[in-house]
Amino acid sequence: MDYKTLTKDELEKQLASEQKVLKKLAKEGRVVDMTRGRPSSEQLDLSVPMFDTVKDADFISQNIDVRNYGGVLGTKESRELFAEILGVKSEEVIVMDNSSLSIMYDLVQFAKQFGIDGHTPWNKLPKVKFICPAPGYDRHFAICEALGIEMITVPMLEDGPDMDLVEPMVKADASIKGIWCVPKYSNPTGITYSDEVVERIATMPTAAEDFRVFWDNAYCVHGLYDEDDKLKNIFEVAKKADTKDRIYEFASTSKITFASAGISCVATSVKNVEEIKSHLFYKTIGPNKVNQYMHALFLKNKEGVLKLMKQHADILRPKFQIVDKALSDAFTDDKFVNWSKPNGGYFVSVDVKSCAARIVELAKSAGVSFTKAGATFPYGMDDYNRNIRIAPSVPSEEELEFAMKVFVSAIKIARMEIVLQKCFSD
Ligand SMILES: Cc1ncc(COP(=O)(O)O)c(C=O)c1O
């Protein structure tokens, strides 16, 4: 709809009529939460049989009773499981408790407190910066903010971060110590990095010798369709280029088994594994190995994981289709609204023109919550007020139909308000 072709009177009438639509939806008194990418209860139910696997178990892994202290790097079987999923060697993997995010936080803290590989601790440097492709994952940016790391925003393109901007910056500036990457089914745009981008990240010259790539492969097995996006194995490139110490790769079973009771890992060079182990020694006498043991019994291997992920996909796919259909029905060929059509992951990313915050506010007034506008950018600064992240996993299909009616109506209202203000304000 090109509202600019309407007279002021016509536009005001249309706006009033759309406001009525939203009011009517609000009157239904429903509450739909689409703020975070959480698995639904139906998805979580898929892994409840995991508890049966330990009914008659002996709890022994490599002659160690997993119910006891020890094994700071994780059980052999869980290390092998993540190694197979990520295409690395098991000695390159440390498995810990739930939350890969907490490992990321710890690794930044270790670098700040102790330094990496003999280099000056980041705490002692006047400034430490990270490259933050945006839109990106708000929690990565939150770690930087909490720990005093300056964020440099670079645009996220269709094939990954804009490497033409990243390369010269990291080459010239030794205070740039890291880059956040969600390389597959990226949060929130859903894209998967191209081979070229993976190669450039793994091999680019960096002024900082202690530069680290935080390769958050949170959605490594989270395809929605039979045809899965292919992500180049960054370790294969880094091993050839002799840059493997630069890579910290993360994954977890938060969206495979249980978000609150999964297992997580970091994969990196054996040298880095030893360094991280030296810090973990003081932090813990060992992770929850019972959970690691149980996960390995339940999931077995990569094939077992992929089988389970197919069941997740069967639950998630119709929800993504509802979102896409609602947007397509309302906004096909409309340049004001663009949205992603991801092959996997947990999000649909919507771009509008200069009114994301207003749309989120209007939707909230009718009971539908989205992640705060701006959250997908460092410092919450979405300069063009454009990006909204939709997380369709938790609501039922019926709730989603409702939420999308609200969302579409909120977009139309916000847009008409802009046109009225821009074209007809005296
Ligand atoms: C990109 C990304 N990384 C990490 C996480 C959190 O992972 P974990 O539950 O393993 O801490 C999420 C959760 O939404 C995510 O989207």
pLDDT (tens digit, 9 = 90+) per residue, 167-178?
A: 999 999 999 999
Which of 139, 180, 316 best tests ligand 1's pocket when mutated (most atoms within 8 Å of CB)? Answer: 139
CA-nearest residue, atom 13 of ligand 1:
37
Last residue of a domain, one of 300, 333, 354: 300
* Secondary structure string (H, E, C) spanning the chain: CCHHHCCHHHHHHHHHHHHHHHHHHHHCCCCEEECCCCCCHHHHHCCHHHHHHHCCCCCEECCEECCCCCCCCCCHHHHHHHHHHHCCCHHHEEEECCCHHHHHHHHHHHHHHHCCCCCCCHHHCCCCEEEEEECCCHHHHHHHHHCCCEEEEEEEECCEECHHHHHHHHHHCCCEEEEEECCCCCCCCCCCCCHHHHHHHHHCCCCCCCCEEEEECCCCCCECCCCCCCCCCHHHHHHHHCCHHHEEEEEECCCCCCCCCCCEEEECCHHHHHHHHHHHHHHCCCCCHHHHHHHHHHHCCHHHHHHHHHHHHHHHHHHHHHHHHHHHHHHCCCCCCEECCCCECCCEEEECCCCHHHHHHHHHHCCEEECCCCCCCHHHCCCCCCEEEECCCCCCHHHHHHHHHHHHHHHHHHHHHHHHHHHHCC
Q: Please state, in angstroms and rounded to a whole number, the distance separating the CA atoms of residues 140 and 149.
A: 11
The structure tokens 């994780």 sit at 74
**Residue 108 placed within a domain:** yes
- Do 59 and 131 share a domain, yes or no? yes
**Residue 42 placed within a domain:** no
Task: Indicate the pLDDT class of residue 4, thresholds 50, 70 and 90.
Answer: confident
Do 348 and 340 touch, CB atoms closer than 8 A?
yes
Last residue of a domain, one of 300, 329, 355: 300
Q: Is 217 in the pocket of ligand 1 (CB under 6 A)?
A: no
Over range 88-103, report the average pLDDT. Answer: 98
- Do 382 and 272 share a domain, yes or no? no
What's the CATH number where 337 sits? 3.90.1150.10
Residue 98 Cα to ligand 1 middle (Å): 10
Average pLDDT, the chain: 97
Task: Indicate the pLDDT class of residue 125, thresholds 50, 70 and 90.
Answer: very high
- Do 296 and 151 share a domain, yes or no? yes
Residue 110 Cα to ligand 1 middle (Å): 20
Q: Is 267 in the pocket of ligand 1 (CB under 6 A)?
A: no
pLDDT (tens digit, 9 = 90+) per residue, 43-78?
A: 999 999 999 999 999 999 999 999 999 999 999 999
Last residue of a domain, one of 300, 328, 350: 300
**Residue 43 placed within a domain:** no
pLDDT at 2 over 90: no
CA 102 to ligand 1: nearest atom: 11
Over range 74-95, report the average pLDDT. Answer: 98
Task: Indicate the pLDDT class of residue 426, thresholds 50, 70 and 90.
Answer: low
Q: Is 137 in the pocket of ligand 1 (CB under 6 A)?
A: yes
CA-nearest residue, atom 8 of ligand 1:
99
Do 234 and 249 touch, CB atoms closer than 8 A?
yes
Residue 408 Cα to ligand 1 middle (Å): 28
What's the CATH number where 295 sits? 3.40.640.10
CA 255 to ligand 1: nearest atom: 9
How much is the pLDDT for 406? 98
**215, two tokens:** 């390769």
**Residue 210 placed within a domain:** yes
Residue 275 Cα to ligand 1 middle (Å): 24
How much is the pLDDT for 424? 82
CA-nearest residue, atom 3 of ligand 1:
218
- Do 241 and 354 share a domain, yes or no? no
pLDDT at 259 over 70: yes
CA 38 to ligand 1: nearest atom: 14
Q: Please state, in angstroms and rounded to a whole number, the distance separating the CA atoms of residues 254 and 100.
A: 9
**Residue 320 placed within a domain:** yes
How much is the pLDDT for 425? 74
Over range 349-364, report the average pLDDT. Answer: 97
Q: Please state, in angstroms and rounded to a whole number, the distance separating the CA atoms of residues 29 and 350.
A: 25
How much is the pLDDT for 63? 92
Q: Please state, in angstroms and rounded to a whole number, the distance separating the CA atoms of residues 222 and 145.
A: 28
Q: Please state, in angstroms and rounded to a whole number, the distance separating the CA atoms of residues 209 and 171.
A: 11
Percent of the chain predicted with pLDDT > 70: 100
Residue 331 Cα to ligand 1 middle (Å): 31
Q: Is 97 in the pocket of ligand 1 (CB under 6 A)?
A: no
Q: What is the reported pTM?
A: 0.97
Q: Is 103 in the pocket of ligand 1 (CB under 6 A)?
A: no
Q: Please state, in angstroms and rounded to a whole number, the distance separating the CA atoms of residues 212 and 208.
A: 9
Burial of 327 (0-12, 13-18, 19+ CB in 10 A): buried
Question: Degrees (nearest 5) of the Cα angle 154, 190, 237?
Answer: 70
**323, two tokens:** 């979102």
pLDDT at 321 over 90: yes
- Do 288 and 326 share a domain, yes or no? no
Residue 255 Cα to ligand 1 middle (Å): 9
Over range 262-279, report the average pLDDT. Answer: 98
Q: Please state, in angstroms and rounded to a whole number, the distance separating the CA atoms of residues 330 and 352.
A: 13
**Residue 38 placed within a domain:** no
Q: Is 182 in the pocket of ligand 1 (CB under 6 A)?
A: yes
Q: Is 133 in the pocket of ligand 1 (CB under 6 A)?
A: no
- Do 328 and 194 share a domain, yes or no? no
Residue 25 Cα to ligand 1 middle (Å): 32
How much is the pLDDT for 101? 98
- Do 351 and 390 share a domain, yes or no? yes
Over range 144-162, report the average pLDDT. Answer: 98
Residue 382 Cα to ligand 1 middle (Å): 21
Which residues, other chains included, contact 426 with Cβ-Cβ below 8 Å and sequence gap of 6+? none
Q: Is 138 in the pocket of ligand 1 (CB under 6 A)?
A: no
Burial of 258 (0-12, 13-18, 19+ CB in 10 A): buried
Task: Indicate the pLDDT class of residue 420, thresholds 50, 70 and 90.
Answer: very high
Task: Indicate the pLDDT class of residue 5, thresholds 50, 70 and 90.
Answer: confident
The number of domains in the chain is: 2
Q: Is 366 in the pocket of ligand 1 (CB under 6 A)?
A: no
Q: Please state, in angstroms and rounded to a whole number, the distance separating the CA atoms of residues 375 and 342.
A: 20
- Do 71 and 156 share a domain, yes or no? yes
CB atoms within 10 A of CB 164: 10
CA-nearest residue, atom 15 of ligand 1:
218
Give CA separation, 66 vs 124, 258, 261, 288, in Å: 39, 20, 16, 8
- Do 24 and 60 share a domain, yes or no? no
Which residues, other chains included, contact 271 with Cβ-Cβ below 8 Å and sequence gap of 6+? 117, 245
pLDDT (tens digit, 9 = 90+) per residue, 209-231?
A: 999 999 999 999 999 999 999 99
Q: Where in the sequence is the domain holding 145, given as residue range(s)?
A: 52-300
- Do 126 and 182 share a domain, yes or no? yes
Residue 180 Cα to ligand 1 middle (Å): 12
**142, two tokens:** 């939150």
Q: Is 101 in the pocket of ligand 1 (CB under 6 A)?
A: yes
CA 137 to ligand 1: nearest atom: 1
- Do 58 and 141 share a domain, yes or no? yes
Residue 101 Cα to ligand 1 middle (Å): 6
**Residue 250 placed within a domain:** yes
**Residue 173 placed within a domain:** yes
Residue 278 has φ and ψ, to the nearest 5°, of -65, -30
Q: Please state, in angstroms and rounded to a whole number, the distance separating the CA atoms of residues 74 and 72.
A: 6
Q: Is 80 in the pocket of ligand 1 (CB under 6 A)?
A: no
- Do 86 and 221 share a domain, yes or no? yes
Task: Indicate the pLDDT class of residue 42, thresholds 50, 70 and 90.
Answer: very high
Q: Is 183 in the pocket of ligand 1 (CB under 6 A)?
A: no
Q: CA dihedral in degrees (229, 255, 267, 243; nearest 10)?
A: 40
